[in-house]
Amino acid sequence: MQQRLDFITLGVADLDAARRFYRDGLGWTPLLDVAEEVVFFQVGHGVVLGLFRADKMAADVGAGPPAGPVGAGVTLSHNVDRAEAVAEVLAAAEAAGGTVVKPAQRADFGGVNGHVADPAGYLWEIAHNPGWSVAPDGTVRLEPIG
C-alpha cells in the first residue's frame, strides 16, 4: 500500500447543508455533484474531498460497527501564509455557515491556529505554521519551531 491518500470522504446527514457551506458559502467549485448522494471538491494536487450522504456512505461500507476502537477525532487543516490570515479565514468560514470552535491563538507548535466546524460538525483547523512549506514538486517541509 503506497504512501498516498487520494480521497477524504465525510459522511453528512444533510447533504444540502454541506453544499450550502462549501459551494455557496465558501465559493468552492464542485468536481462532481450527484444529487441526493455526494458532492466532490478537488482540494489539492490530485486530492479530492467528498461529502457523502451518510446513509449511502454506510451502505457502501457495509453493515456492522467499525473494527477496533472508535477514532478520537479528525481535523482537516487549511494553512495560510500570514498569522493574521487565521482570524480572517475563520471569520470567512463563519460567514459561510461554519461555527468557530477556537478563535485564532498562539498554538503549541509555535504558530497560530484556530478551529471552525462545518455544518456537520467536522473540524477545520486554520493554521499559520512557519515550520511548514511545500516545494513546487509537492515535497512538504515540516519542522518543529518554537
Find the binding residues for a second copy in span 47-106 (CB under 8 A): 47-49, 54, 57-62, 64, 66-79, 89, 92-93, 96, 99, 101-102
Total number of residues binding a second copy (CB under 8 A)? Answer: 80
Of residues 5 through 44, those in contact with a second copy by CB under 8 A are: 5-13, 26, 28-29, 31-32, 34, 40-44
Amino acid at 39: V
* DSSP line for 1-56: --S---EEEEEES-HHHHHIIIIIIS-PPEEEEETTTEEEEEEETTEEEEEEEHHH
**Residue nearer to a second copy on the CB measure, 3 or 82:** 3
Closest CB 97 distance from a second copy, rounded Å: 10
Closest CB 106 distance from a second copy, rounded Å: 11
Go through 132-146 and write b for each residue having 16 or more CB atoms within 10 A of its CB, e for each that does not: beeeeeeeeeeeeee
